[in-house]
Structure 1
């Protein structure tokens, strides 16, 4: 079995996925890190030098590879992964995979992202009001894809440990 965790940036995908993998003693795979390894560039550098279309094509190839070669793993997807190309179809058609969406309100995402925006090139220069506008717009566009997940978890006001416990119950 595999669990893929999706959600908007700042929703806690990587942190929750890593802790869950440790708890279950499964492999932890962070899709963006796998892309960076294959390209020898950071995601920001790939976007800057090769563009988003190149990145999205590479993302799909790496996702296909991971899904076909992985057995027991927790996979942390990029925020846009389910929303581009045939990625959602790849995830939904994998019978050994549960897709979990960590749903967080735009207000909570803005609070989280504002604190760490310096580490996120797409939003580094946005003031709080503009950041919330940005988050609302993108979340609205992506919600259609996220809501097709097998499991939707309200991740507002929950600790990482709470979320790990909630996702672990899916395996019982």
Structure 2
């Protein structure tokens, strides 16, 4: 079985993918980490040197490769992954795959991303919290169509164990 977590940046995809993979005894994968390994440089460096189009092509190639493996895994996607190219189609059409949209509200995302903005190339240039809020609002509006095509949708709670229990219930 393959489990794919999708959602906006800062929604907890990597965090919950790690916890879930450990609990299930599955391999944990983070698509951004796999891209960095393949490219031999950070996501920020890829964006700076080659641009977003190159990044999205590499992202699509690696997603396709991972989904074709026979491995059991929990995969954390990048926030934009399901929204580009045929990535959503690859996810939807992969047998034995369950996708979960981790849905966070704007206030949570704004709080988390303001603290982490310098580590995230898509928002590092934003210097006012109001600009970040507008950026997130716009992206959430544009990306909802893709995120909502996940098999399941879940609003994580403050309690990680409670959220993991909810994910387990969705998968059974």
Tell me the TM-score normalized by structure 2. 0.94
Q: Give 3-state SS (helix, strand or coil) of 1:74's partner.
A: strand
Paired position in structure 1 for 2:130: 129
Q: Give 3-state SS (helix, strand or coil) of 1:95's partner.
A: coil
Question: 2:101, 2:147 within 8 Å by CA — same for their partners in 1?
Answer: yes
Paired position in structure 1 for 2:155: 154
Give the aligned length.
171
Alignment gaps of 5+ in structure 2: none
Question: 1:15, 1:160 within 8 Å by CA — same for their partners in 2?
Answer: no
Question: Stretches of 4+ moved more than 3 A in 1?
Answer: none
Paired position in structure 1 for 2:56: 56
Larger deviation, residues 162-171 vs 105-114 = 162-171
Paired position in structure 2 for 1:138: 139
Tell me the TM-score normalized by structure 1. 0.94
Question: 2:98, 2:171 within 8 Å by CA — same for their partners in 1?
Answer: no
Larger deviation, residues 107-116 vs 24-33 = 107-116
Alignment gaps of 5+ in structure 1: none
Q: Could you say what the CA RMSD is over the residues aligned between the two structures, in angstroms?
A: 1.2
State the alpha-carbon separation in 1 of the partners of residues 165 and 104 from structure 2: 17
